[in-house]
Amino acid sequence: MSTDSHTSHAIAPKTGHDDGHGHGDGHPVSTFKGYMTGFVLSVILTAIPFWLVMSGALDSKTATAVAILAIGAVQIVVHMIYFLHMTPSSEGGWTLMALIFTVVMVVITLTGSLWVMYHLNTNMMPMDPSQLP
Amino acid sequence: MASVTADASAAEAGSANEQPVFYVTDEHEHAEGGSTQLGFWLYLMSDCLVFAVLFATYGVLGGSFAAGPSPKDLFDLPLVALNTTMLLLSSITYGFAVLEMQKNRVSPMLLWLAITGLFGAAFLGIELFEFTHMILEGATPQRSAFLSSFFTLVGTHGLHVTFGIIWMITLIVQVRMFGLTDANKRRLLCLSMFWHFLDVVWIGVFTFVYLMGVLR
């Protein structure tokens, strides 16, 4: 923080936040084209997984599961960009920082829980009465 | 106005040739509501963690049927597809409301907002129909760990949608009374983030709960 930016700020306090304080304008610009792109992509990305599961187009269940999870992840990114107007520069990058932190926490929570509880289930549960000591 | 005070030590030294050290005693000015968007985003991220925990719970308990009904017996995919369509349509109509708001056109904005609310209500109606149908079949939250975690996760999302609709009605009244003031625009943009965020969570729900459940 230089004293310069503060002086200019004090002289013209109404100029807003364009003086390098690190917050963006706060008003994301939305366009009709952006919303329609997001909507069309989103419809396609919703229809494909429903079709995959309901028609059983892929023979392997694992392949179908991987496909719908991947498509779901892509659709989340589409929504983030076109509907939530996420850009690396919005709010001076702080929204992206918060998002990255949250994604890390979500991944740890999900994979951690599933991993630990899966092993707890397989390793600690007696399979049938004959295996009991 | 930020008041600037000479550093005490520099003042005591009293040497006129040396550059005095300045610092700002007051917080510099912020436009009113300038940080609301970021603050609301942080709230959404914390909400995201709530849903992450509920998803993890469902992921762990989703296979414990206790000899009760499984997702295959319960879930009606065409109904879920219809539900998803309602939420997707409400997302794009909210987008149109934001576009009208940017052009400062009050009546079309209110119309799109009302349509969004109706789509949201349709989503809730279908979800409640599904829930009552399941409960009448005996698939209550008490039946198995799978059903407890299912109702908690999907119910929490539904509760969020309910509050979104209440918020939407409140904003329709606000805009009708006071017009598209800066404060109302800010609130509309916050609700926009909230609404689209719920759509993002729903993507997780229909992929992870419904589609994967039927697939299992």
Residues B85-100: tens digit of each pLDDT:
999 999 999 999 999 9
Smallest CA-to-CA distance from B75 within B139, B29, B156 is with B139
Prediction pTM value: 0.81
B191: tokens are 């609700």
8-state DSSP, A118: H
Q: Tally the residues of chain A.
A: 133
pLDDT digits (tens, 9 = 90+) for A38-61: 999 999 999 999 999 999 888 898
Q: Would you tell me which residues 78-117 of chain A have a C-beta closer than 8 angstroms to some C-beta of chain B?
A: 79-80, 83-84, 91, 94-95, 98-99, 101-102, 105-106, 109-110, 112-114, 117
Domain boundaries, chain B: 1-30, 36-215
Contact assignment for B91 to A9 by CB distance below 8 Å: no
Pair B169, B117: CB distance under 8 Å: yes
Could you give the CA distance from residue B164 to residue A15 in angstroms, rounded to a whole number?
Answer: 34
Top residue of B41, B47, B94, B102 to mutate, by most chain A CBs within 10 Å, is B41
How many interface pairs between A and B have CB atoms less than 8 angstroms apart? Answer: 142
pLDDT, mean over chain A: 79
Could you give the CA distance from residue B144 to residue B61 in angstroms, rounded to a whole number?
Answer: 9
Q: What sections of chain A are H helices per DSSP?
A: 3-11, 32-55, 61-82, 94-124
User: Which of the four CATH numbers 1.20.120.80, 1.10.1660.10, 3.60.21.10, 2.40.240.10 does domain B36-215 have?
Assistant: 1.20.120.80
In sequence order, the 6+-apart residues with CB closer than 8 A to the CB of B167 are B191, B194
Top residue of A69, A83, A114 to mutate, by most chain B CBs within 10 Å, is A83
Contact assignment for A21 to B28 by CB distance below 8 Å: yes
Helix (H, G, I), strand (E, B) or coil at B37: helix
Contact assignment for B59 to A26 by CB distance below 8 Å: no
In sequence order, the 6+-apart residues with CB closer than 8 A to the CB of B74 are B134, B137, B139
pLDDT digits (tens, 9 = 90+) for A71-108: 999 999 999 999 998 888 888 889 999 999 999 999 99
Between B145-178 and B36-61, two packed helices, what is the crossing angle to 10 degrees? Answer: 160
**Report for B11-25, B29-43, B115-129: range of highest mean pLDDT:** B115-129
pLDDT digits (tens, 9 = 90+) for B53-112: 999 999 999 988 888 899 999 999 999 999 999 999 999 999 999 999 999 999 999 999
Contact assignment for B204 to A72 by CB distance below 8 Å: yes
In sequence order, the 6+-apart residues with CB closer than 8 A to the CB of A88 are A96
Smallest CA-to-CA distance from B38 within B139, B176, B189, B185 is with B189
What is the ipTM for the molecules in this complex?
A: 0.82
Judged against a pLDDT cut of 70, whether residue A5 lies above it is answered with no
